[in-house]
Chain A
Amino acid sequence: EAQVTQNPRYLITVTGKKLTVTCSQNMNHEYMSWYRQDPGLGLRQIYYSMNVEVTDKGDVPEGYKVSRKEKRNFPLILESPSPNQTSLYFCASSNRAKREKLFFGSGTQLSVL
C-alpha cells in the first residue's frame, strides 16, 4: 500500500530535549516536505527536499533541521525544542512536477512543556 509513515503520532517532551520525528515513504517520490499546522494559520512549510541530499528552507525553518540521506526517509529534527514548537506536524511526499498531489502522513502532535 502506497503511504507516508510518520512516527510517533503523539509526543510530549520538555524544553531543550532533542527529538526526531521520522518520515518514510514507499512510493519512490523525489519530493518530500514538512509542515506545521497551527489554529488560524493553516499549514506552513518548514523544509522541503527535491531529492536525495537536496534540502531547502520553507517559510518557517527556524529551530528545525532535516536531512535526506536516502530517498525514502526525511526526518525532522528539533535540536532544542521550545514551547512555541508545540504543534501538529505533517510530512508529505510527491513526484517533483507541480501537478503532482501531495501524499500526507497521519501527523505528529507534539507538545513541548
Chain B
Amino acid sequence: AQKITQTQPGMFVQEKEAVTLDCTYDTSDPSYGLFWYKQPSSGEMIFLIYQGSYDQQNATEGRYSLNFQKARKSANLVISASQLGDSAMYFCAMREGGQGNTGKLIFGQGTTLQVKP
C-alpha cells in the first residue's frame, strides 16, 4: 500500500537561511508523482512543486527545490532564503499513475515550519 511519512512534526529556521523538510514514501508502482503543498494559518492549500518518478532532473520552482532520491524513496523539500511568510504547515503527497488508477492521492502528516526573524 502507498504510504507517505513526514517525520518532523515541527521545525524552526532563521530568516534568510535554507531549510529542508523531509518526506519519504513507499509505493510499488514505478510511475508516480510527488507533490508539496503549503497550508498557511489561513487554511488554504497552495501547490508548491511537483516531481515525476521518471523526471530526469530534480524539480525547482523559485526558492523551492525538491531533493528527489528515488533509490531511497525520499522527496525532501528545500526552501532557500527563508522568509517570514514561509511559516506554515507543509504537506508531502503522492499520486500513483502510469497504467494504474490515478485517483488515489495520499498525504503525509505534515510539518509545521516557523521562520524566526
Contacts and interface: CB of A to CB of B under 8 A. Distances in A.
Counting contact residues on chain A (CB < 8 A from B), the size range is 20 to 34
A49 B105 CA distance: 12
Contacts of A101: 35, 47, 50
Contacts, number: 68
B50 A48 contact: no
Counting contact residues on chain B (CB < 8 A from A), the size range is 20 to 34
A33 B44 contact: no
A106 to B, nearest CB: 6
Given A102-B45, A102-B47, A104-B45, A97 B97 contact: yes
Given A97-B102, A107-B44, 15 more contacts: A31-B103, A40-B109, A42-B110, A48-B104, A50-B101, A56-B103, A58-B104, A90-B45, A98-B32, A98-B95, A99-B50, A99-B97, A102-B35, A102-B37, A102-B105
